[in-house]
């Protein structure tokens, strides 16, 4: 008998999550172009070792804070399960998920690989490390800039990063930060304060930290961004006071960090810290978006495979029309949201080397990022809940992985700014930067080669009308309707990008998925029922895996 694994708890263990996901392959290749990569190796890892590591940590092996070492001095390190440590090192060093933008690849490559990882906890460790690499690569002084290579997995041993912006009194309101920074000499400052939500606490070798120098203006514009190493001058540079108990994402240790005259390197030009911080948040908001799409795909796999085996009322679940309808809605939404998230990543890739005051292209990428972050997170909550429901009563049991996926998805609307924050920032990008003008030009260009051009052009007109209606409102009413506008624009972008991809490939099934999304989500009509081969392909992955 083989050694036991979680294969008896989930039908998806052992699948190659890349080779079975033909929609991802097509969307990714359309946006990555001729340099698209083959993620078969990564797909194998995430369908086996990563899947088991995330399950194991959540159920049996939570991170543990070690405050004191045997020598009698503080170490403030977090013990991680050995399988999780190995998986993280494989993802960074072997699969190279963080190195693509720095070694001739693209951000589309990075986010496509993160879609496959799509475990919000482990994905968070990857993302905060990538954010740190990004900031060092662009803005660090020469004495520490090369550290980005270890964070990106270009050099060994790997390093791990973190982003510590949130404080008790502020939450998403960064302007309420109370951490102070005192200049010592050169690029070195001394930081004192308390960071309340500090993911990566105890494993980070270097962290990005916001703080306010003396005399700086109040609010967010008075903040600077610093790189704070775990050790400085041979001594521990900050203290981890505790780890938090969370509903999900257990695999990323989240704690509270106290800075006591902690040494930090000023990043970039003084006076521009808030711009660097918000820029860095784009990296994680895009990660949040693509992780939501990937987590939804994992939940779909769980539901579809379970439904293909489970029998009720004399038939397999998947032979019941309402179950097939559930799977169809999930599939259409996942495709649309994957297209939206990777489109935002594609635009970010064109502008990521911009610096303040930034270009029109950068502000467009930012606009799409706010929209994608919001819509994908909402979708992930719904898809994982539906997938858990299709499992019936056992889907609610703690012992089956589908239950964990839903708990993991619940953080996605909160992380990196709630839906209200995304709507407000979207409005700011339009009002102050005119990013919606670039959006309309881009949508018009994509509509020219979409598969369903009449519907694509109608969608462009709908976007124009929605923007014109918003412009006619007073500011308080615009804010009140902000999330409505975000959803309207997001659904339009999702449809047009998905339909453009269908047109590029001449892919009838992808085009039908786009058309269903248009009729049900953009127009808000009845959910259509496709027939024959299209229905079969849209309710199975049919790419090395035929579940019927």
The pLDDT mean for the chain works out to 95
Cα angle, residue 533 at apex, residues 451 and 115 outer, rounded to 5°? 65
Angle between helices 419-433 and 360-390 (to 10 degrees): 160
Question: Which has the closest alpha carbon to 294: 453, 115, 101?
Answer: 115
Task: Provide the 3-class DSSP secondary structure of residue 488.
Answer: helix
Determine the Cα–Cα distance for residues 50 and 12; give it in Å rounded to an integer: 12
Alpha helices in 92-173 (DSSP H): 107-117, 120-139, 142-145, 148-151
Residue 13 main-chain phi, psi, to 5 deg: -65, 135
Task: Provide the 3-class DSSP secondary structure of residue 181.
Answer: strand
Determine the Cα–Cα distance for residues 25 and 480; give it in Å rounded to an integer: 38
Mean pLDDT over 248-258 rounds to 97
Question: Which has the closest alpha carbon to 124: 48, 63, 192?
Answer: 63
pLDDT in tens, 476-514: 999 999 999 999 999 999 999 999 999 999 999 999 999
> Is the model's pTM score more than 0.85?
yes
- Dihedral (CA of 385, 387, 393, 397) sign: negative
Answer whether residue 547 shows pLDDT above 50: no
Mean pLDDT over 379-401 rounds to 96
Determine the Cα–Cα distance for residues 327 and 318; give it in Å rounded to an integer: 9
Q: 259 — alpha (psi -120 to 50), left (phi > 0) or beta? A: beta
pLDDT in tens, 230-245: 999 999 999 999 999 9
Looking at residue 169, its pLDDT comes to 86
Determine the Cα–Cα distance for residues 238 and 89; give it in Å rounded to an integer: 25
CATH 2.40.110.20 fits 161-271, yes or no: yes
Domain range list for the chain: 6-151, 161-271, 275-538
- DSSP assigned state of 310: -
Looking at residue 171, its pLDDT comes to 81
With bands split at pLDDT 50, 70 and 90, how would you rate the model's confidence at 540?
A: low
Label residue 461 exposed, middle or buried (CB < 10 Å: 0-12, 13-18, 19+).
Answer: exposed
The two structure tokens encoding residue 329? 């809605």
Answer whether residue 292 shows pLDDT above 50: yes
Report which of residues 543 and 303 the model is more confident about. 303
Are 187 and 141 within 8 A, CB to CB? yes
- DSSP assigned state of 94: I
Cβ-defined contacts of 540-543 (< 8 Å, 24+): 540/304, 541/20, 541/21, 541/22, 541/301, 541/304, 542/22, 543/19, 543/20, 543/21, 543/22, 543/25
Domain boundaries 275-538, corresponding CATH code: 1.20.140.10
The DSSP code sequence of 225-276 is EEEEESEETTEE-SEEEEEPP-SS-TTS-EEEEEEEEEEEEEPSSTT-HHHH
Task: Provide the 3-class DSSP secondary structure of residue 411.
Answer: coil
The two structure tokens encoding residue 334? 């996942």
SS3 content of the chain, % helix, strand, coil (to 5): 55, 15, 30
Answer whether residue 180 shows pLDDT above 80: yes
Looking at residue 358, its pLDDT comes to 96
Answer whether residue 542 shows pLDDT above 60: no
Angle between helices 401-409 and 120-139 (to 10 degrees): 40
Mean pLDDT over 294-321 rounds to 94
- DSSP assigned state of 102: G
Rounded to the nearest 10°, the torsion over CA 211, 213, 216, 219 is 10
Task: Provide the 3-class DSSP secondary structure of residue 311.
Answer: strand
Determine the Cα–Cα distance for residues 370 and 285; give it in Å rounded to an integer: 8
Answer whether residue 306 shows pLDDT above 50: yes
pLDDT in tens, 108-153: 999 999 999 989 999 999 999 999 999 999 999 999 999 999 999 9
Answer whether residue 541 shows pLDDT above 50: no
Looking at residue 237, its pLDDT comes to 98
Label residue 297 exposed, middle or buried (CB < 10 Å: 0-12, 13-18, 19+).
Answer: buried
Q: What is the chain's length?
A: 548
């Amino acid at each position: 008998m083989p050694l036991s694994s979680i294969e008896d708890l989930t039908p998806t263990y052992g699948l190659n999550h890349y080779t079975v996901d033909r929609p991802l392959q097509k969307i990714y290749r359309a946006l990555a172009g001729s340099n698209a990569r083959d993620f078969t190796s990564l797909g194998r890892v995430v369908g086996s070792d990563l899947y088991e590591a995330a399950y194991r940590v959540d159920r049996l092996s939570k991170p543990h804070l070690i405050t004191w070492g045997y020598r009698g001095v503080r170490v403030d390190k977090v013990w991680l399960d050995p399988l999780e440590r190995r998986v993280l090192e494989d993802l960074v060093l072997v699969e190279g998920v963080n190195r693509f933008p720095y070694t001739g690849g693209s951000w589309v490559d990075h986010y496509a690989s993160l879609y496959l990882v799509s475990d919000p906890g482990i994905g968070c460790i990857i993302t905060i490390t990538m954010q740190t690499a990004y900031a060092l690569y662009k803005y660090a002084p020469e004495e520490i800039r090369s550290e980005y290579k270890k964070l990106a997995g270009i050099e060994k041993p790997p390093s791990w990063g973190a982003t510590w912006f949130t404080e008790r009194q502020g939450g998403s309101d960064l302007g309420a930060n109370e951490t102070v920074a005192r200049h010592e000499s050169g690029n070195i400052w001394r930081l004192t304060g308390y960071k309340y939500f500090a993911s990566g606490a105890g494993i980070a070798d270097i962290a990005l930290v916001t703080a306010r120098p003396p005399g700086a203006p109040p609010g967010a514009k008075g903040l600077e961004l610093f790189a704070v190493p775990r050790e400085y001058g041979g001594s521990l540079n900050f203290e981890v006071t505790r780890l938090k108990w969370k509903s999900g994402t257990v695999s990323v240790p989240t704690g509270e960090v106290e800075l006591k005259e902690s040494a930090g390197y000023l990043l970039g030009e003084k006076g521009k810290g808030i711009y660097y911080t918000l820029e860095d948040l784009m990296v994680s908001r895009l990660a949040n978006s693509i992780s939501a799409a990937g987590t939804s795909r994992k939940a779909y796999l769980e539901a579809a495979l379970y439904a293909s085996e489970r029998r009720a009322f004399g038939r397999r679940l998947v032979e019941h029309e309402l179950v097939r309808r559930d799977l169809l809605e999930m599939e259409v939404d996942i495709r649309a949201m994957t297209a939206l998230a990777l489109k935002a990543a594609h635009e970010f890739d064109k502008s990521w080397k911009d610096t303040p005051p930034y270009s029109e292209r950068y502000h467009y990428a930012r606009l799409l990022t706010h929209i994608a972050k919001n819509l994908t997170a909402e979708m992930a909550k719904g898809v994982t809940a539906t997938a858990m429901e299709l499992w019936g009563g056992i889907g609610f049991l703690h012992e089956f992985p589908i239950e964990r996926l839903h708990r993991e998805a619940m953080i996605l609307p909160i992380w990196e700014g709630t839906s209200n924050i995304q709507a407000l920032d979207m409005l700011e990008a339009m009002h102050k930067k005119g990013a919606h003008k670039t959006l309309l030009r881009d949508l018009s260009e994509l509509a020219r080669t979409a598969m369903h051009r009449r519907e694509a052009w109608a969608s462009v007109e709908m976007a124009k009308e929605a923007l014109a209606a918003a412009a006619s409102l007073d500011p308080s009413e615009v804010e009140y309707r902000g999330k409505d506008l975000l959803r309207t624009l997001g659904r339009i972008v999702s449809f047009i990008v998905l339909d453009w991809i269908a047109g590029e490939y001449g892919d009838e099934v992808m085009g039908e998925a786009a058309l269903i999304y248009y009729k049900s989500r953009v127009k808000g009509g009845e959910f259509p029922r496709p027939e024959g081969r299209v229905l079969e392909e849209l309710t199975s992955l049919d790419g090395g895996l035929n579940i019927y």
